[in-house]
A and B are shown apart, each in its own frame.
Chain A
């Protein structure tokens, strides 16, 4: 009896709490975490509703939302429609980010170093060992490249960033595709591992002659130098917001397959090759809770573009936002007006 009473009291307290303000919880990808924090903060100020996001990694996010521990999960790796059906999840993109190849080469400036897409893979395969290797030198006739070993830095934890980066490597280099493949955690042929974007940043920062890959926001934060890469057709393309946006334009996301599409290597003359959508996962049966989550993202799509840009992310194109709203309506989880 006593137990029952305390239970009733507890649920009453919880109910009272939710009546006052909505509180939703999410967990997952670290890649978009800075922008989700920013949105959640602004959303709380504007509406009084709370969003609690834990940046624990895409895999953790998928696991927690599959077990229905959180209201929404976040993943940098889109789940295939079949898997979504099996786990009873909805999926839509929230924002676009990009991955840059950063280097610690004294005397060489930001975007000065040009790397062919297939050479990036060869460096990560350990086939190109020195900075003055012919393959790199012939693309950079004006640069004085040192005869130093390249210190390759990769992620030590499983990561959506790694998934998108390896997707890009596998599509520009057959050796990579056949021997290493695509995934969130890989059997890295060479290099040292750092945990998270922060870990890779630290290693690159303090190891001369190193190369690494990080989310663009971390490049800005650490003042890294990032390499000029190639578009899908082989044209040189610098890592700038402009060129990320040019690539994002080609996103052909649609509600039919729950927005499943990897964004790397889009066509176009100015499309930077490694841009990546990051996705939100919702449990299908929780219609009412989902409406609160979509209310947050609806608000963010309307008011959050400036914040996203400032942090180095690319807001979704207007057409994609419309498609997402249609998708919500289709499944009856559009926010209550």
Chain B
């Protein structure tokens, strides 16, 4: 009886993981199929063409691809150091009575829907950028900063959890050997939590690259490669959200699917590269 149940359970579990694979392949196949007319029309040059003129059936994906990559990059550059700082503070430095409330506050920040960040960015943050940095407030920089603020709590929470798993014995032995707090964080906590920290960065990256609502509000929605960092730009998800409902020519429709396919492949490559490169390195180091 129990072996039969075990077998059934194994089968169900196997099936579930199999479904994930099927869905992944099915999504890719549909994106590819729908994008095919655009792939045939523009080929690989779609990625380097900068003009997006739907009324003339001219489509180039570079502005959207560039906007996606750059806004994510700005967000990660700003968010990662701060998130590390927050996590270190919470695990190693903060007194006990602060740990609870601050930790909960960060978890709550991570749960705020992205559209709220977008509205806050548009009505409060964009004017600040306009007055103190330049441009008209909506653009790549604003999008990057809003994204950074959005992924920061998320990254900090996961990094904190990863750092918390460092066994106290290890830390105490380091202190016993005369290590300073900085040494312990650098040489004990960080190496121990490395996998978790990288995981948090990758998850945050995935969220930033696919974020739509918050970015639509603050990016300026212009199919141009921005000259200055504060100039308006667009990203792939923003383009899709803005233009799908009105895409009435077949090539327009296919080009949007082409962009979606590129986004899909892009995030796939990001994560695969991170997984194979970094995690193997960590494993071999251990």
Contact = CB atoms under 8 A, between A and B. Distances in A.
B254 to A, nearest CB: 14
Interface in A154-169: 156-159, 166
Contact of A186 (B54, B136, B138, B232): B54
Interface string A185-227: 1111001111100000011001100100000000000000000
Given A184-B54, A187-B58, A195 B246 contact: no
A156 B54 CA distance: 12
Given A62-B248, A187-B223, A206-B126, 5 more contacts: A58-B246, A63-B248, A151-B136, A183-B54, A206-B123
15 contacts: A57-B245, A57-B246, A58-B246, A158-B246, A181-B55, A184-B54, A185-B246, A186-B53, A187-B54, A187-B223, A188-B222, A192-B136, A193-B221, A193-B234, A202-B122
Interface string B239-276: 00111011110001000000000000000000000000
A60 interface: yes
Nearest to B126: A206
A157 B245 CA distance: 8
Interface in B105-146: 122-123, 126-127, 130, 136-138
Given A151-B136, A192-B220, A158 B52 contact: no
A206 B130 CA distance: 11
Interface string B26-68: 0000000000000000000000000111111010000000000
Contact of B53 (A62, A187, A193, A207): A187
Contacts, number: 90
B159 interface: no
Given A59-B245, A158-B246, A192 B56 contact: no
A56 interface: yes
Interface string B17-28: 000000000000
A195 B51 contact: no
Contact of A206 (B127, B220, B234): B127
Contact of B243 (A157, A187, A192): A157
B55 A194 contact: no
A182 interface: yes
A151 B136 CA distance: 7
Contacts of B241: 195
A195 B216 CA distance: 9
A56 B55 contact: no
A186 B246 contact: no
A158 B245 contact: yes
Interface residues of A, number: 33
Interface in A41-66: 56-60, 62-63
A195 B223 contact: no
A141 to B, nearest CB: 28
Contacts of A186: 53-55
Nearest to A193: B221
Contacts of A210: 136
Interface in A243-262: none
A193 B222 contact: yes
Nearest to B241: A195
A60 B245 CA distance: 5
For the complex of A and B, the 4 pairs showing the least CB-CB separation, nearest first, are: A183-B55, A158-B246, A193-B221, A59-B246
Contacts of A182: 55
Given A157-B242, A195-B216, A187 B247 contact: no
A142 B221 CA distance: 36
B137 A207 contact: yes
A192 B222 contact: yes
B243 A158 contact: yes
A151 B222 CA distance: 13
Contacts of B58: 187
A84 to B, nearest CB: 14
B101 to A, nearest CB: 35
A330 B5 CA distance: 71
Nearest to A191: B222
A334 B249 CA distance: 32
A193 B51 contact: no
A188 B223 contact: yes
Contacts of A184: 54-55, 246, 248
Contacts of B122: 202, 206
